[in-house]
Every structure is written in structure tokens, then in C-alpha cells.
Amino acid sequence: MAGAKRRAAVVWEGDLMSGSGTITETGSGAFGNLPVTWKARTEDSDGKTSPEELISAALASCYSMAFSAGLARGGNAPKKLEVEAVTLFTLDGGPKVDSIDLTVRGTVDGMDQAAFEKAAQEAGEGCPVSKALAGNVKINVKAELVS
């Protein structure tokens, strides 16, 4: 099977501190015209996005799919998974994504908390975004089984 290509384009105007950019399009057309600025990355987002927020969205959506697939393969398809990813971006020693806290709450019949936590830790192995970040960014997973 051929791999999928995904595309996005950005236009940036001005210098880093006072300039701004716009994510002008994506190949899918799912979103576009998203403003980005340095201030949105390092201070108040003020309705603008940042690369780190987009990384959080990419990881949360990829991880939820991988976790759902893994649970189903194990005979415990989830009723619902809520995944939140919070990316820590620091400026110490230069801009860097240090870690991502991934919190997952799930409603899954036939599992106890320990089995859910184990499956949650393993889910990143099936997520291409987790694989892309591996060795570069620490991903901390916290899992809660909801009845």
C-alpha cells in the first residue's frame, strides 16, 4: 500500500518578534488561515495557534486511534476515549519542546485500571506521531479508566 502524503503551507511576514504568519492551507482543506506568532508560542495565545499546539493536536488524535485499535485487538473495544496532550515548550538554552503530558480517560468494558494503564502505556508504540517524537521528546502518559 502506498504511503499517504500530507501537506500544509505557511506565509510568514516580518521578523520573529514582531512578525506574524498564517497557515494558509492544508492539503485536505480541513483548516487554513490559522494565525501564528512568536508571542502566541511564548506568552498568551490570544486566539492564535503555535507549532506546539499543532503537535499536541497531532499526538492526541494519533494516539487515540492507536489506543482504540490496540484495545479492540485485545478484545476490549472502547466506548469512549478522551485524550489531551499538553506540550511543554521552554526557552532555556534555546527554544525546545521538552515534554508532552498525555492524559487519557476511557470508558472500556471488561478492563480494570491496571490493565487500562498498561494498554495506555503501550498505545504509543502504534502511533506514528509518537514514533516521530521518540528519542527527542519525553511523552508522559496518565490513564484513568472511567466507569
Q: Express each pLDDT in 28-77 by its tens digit.
A: 989 889 999 999 998 889 999 999 999 999 999 999 999 999 999 999 99
Q: Identify the residue whose cell numbers are 498568551.
A: 44
Nearest-Å Rg of the Cα atoms of the chain is 18
- What fold characterizes domain 51-145? GMP Synthetase; Chain A, domain 3 (3.30.300)
pLDDT in tens, 96-134: 899 999 999 999 999 999 999 999 999 988 899 999 999
DSSP state of 20: E
All structural domains of the chain with their residue ranges = 8-42, 51-145
- pTM exceeds 0.85 for this model: yes
pLDDT in tens, 138-147: 999 999 999 7
